[in-house]
Chains A and B, each alone.
Chain A
């Protein structure tokens, strides 16, 4: 192979705040890239992953970013909201691609304002909308009381404006119940929630706080079936709560779970079985692993399109163009079909709702998008403030 390799910087937090997800997510990313390389690369170009721990510290993120850039990386994934937010300007100045699937700034979906930033998956706003939509189509929303129990951080507060607007439209009641970060102790919050007697509870957190939320909810007599979670709810959380106790809980998901998918089957066959996997093979097919795989399928697809259309050597601007050419791409069924355009970097904001059965996540809705106008408005206003200096 004498074709230039394509370099991706996967500079993530393996040791601090996001340890609950990074391991599996990054393993999925690496395994998929290995699969691509095993299958001959992208038009003969191998993909090289530069993997570094940033410990979620901005200065380590900056260093890793600058170093990887010097080594020629043209795509970055920090899987860390603060690091991504901190580097947005730099990335746009350097004209390299930053993907922020399921983290980072939600308004980065606005492609004209953030030309080099690609959420590629549903923002938290879209997630809230899709969850609301699922309730609407199953039990109806009107007259319901919804409690949003969230971690008290910008991320936790993020869905509120969208939900409030939907509440106005659909005529239900909504109230926020913040708990102090990191969320390992939420009892006072749940005493309040129980007295509110909600019909549905949204839990909006990540990591340990999520399983504490679920436990507290169940202990307070809330039926798991009435719980809706942001995308960060996985098998490990279920085990922590007690796999059987959590049956019926529903979450947003951006990708399918399990290995029942052509890409995952090929990963198992060509990467895991020959022993080329990047980690513990029991993780293959887990929620976060599959999210990792999906992020890379999109990136590789973008690279493929860019090479096809613009030719080697691949650069940041070319890769950006590649992303904006993605149309109806669904990673062979692993994720909803997304179409990324110069104005919409979210790819439509698709996702679905799935339910915990005691051993796995079973989809209860189709890939869909919801309340696009409300979400779009939120993205626009937020992006406008950014464009106006912030």
Chain B
């Protein structure tokens, strides 16, 4: 691995009286899969929200490819090459799967209402060009069968996959996934893992992933960061970090093998 793509330095975030992140620092290397784990409410999503611009950290700074991104608004960060998915699926209801994925191309389009006036000359061409990329991603994630379905009627597992597809369409250099496998059974988990690995490899991405499925974390993450109550309690290669006694106590519990 080479130089870090993302550097978080001393990130602090408060919500009223709650100190949700207490000076977190982390570095994610180019091309690695980086796991973010920790008990519920430990601040994982908050950290990710800081990285993607939804919350501004009150203290600390975040650099992406050497450029400071804290303080930027989410859409600017997206345009800079970070894409993400959400813990609770956040697809656009009322749109088809295809349209949802096409939305991922937004940063490459020109959202001008005048386009609608001259649709045949202008917008249509733009659309058709982007469709090729979209179809590629649909192929990659095997979404052909639901391409034209309304997104709210397809099963949750597929919805998460569509969300991933939407994120990939933006041709990001870094992908942030918040619990992509929550609520999936074994088979679906395996599919999801395969898609994440394929995408990472083929598109040469760095991945930041939050996941509670320990087996997944230990087997695909190069390194992990474990949070507890806004503090970093462990960091390092997945298997080592996960067997840290503090991590076991706070996060995994006695019957770790059960999950």
Q: Do chains A and B touch in the complex (CB under 8 A)?
A: no
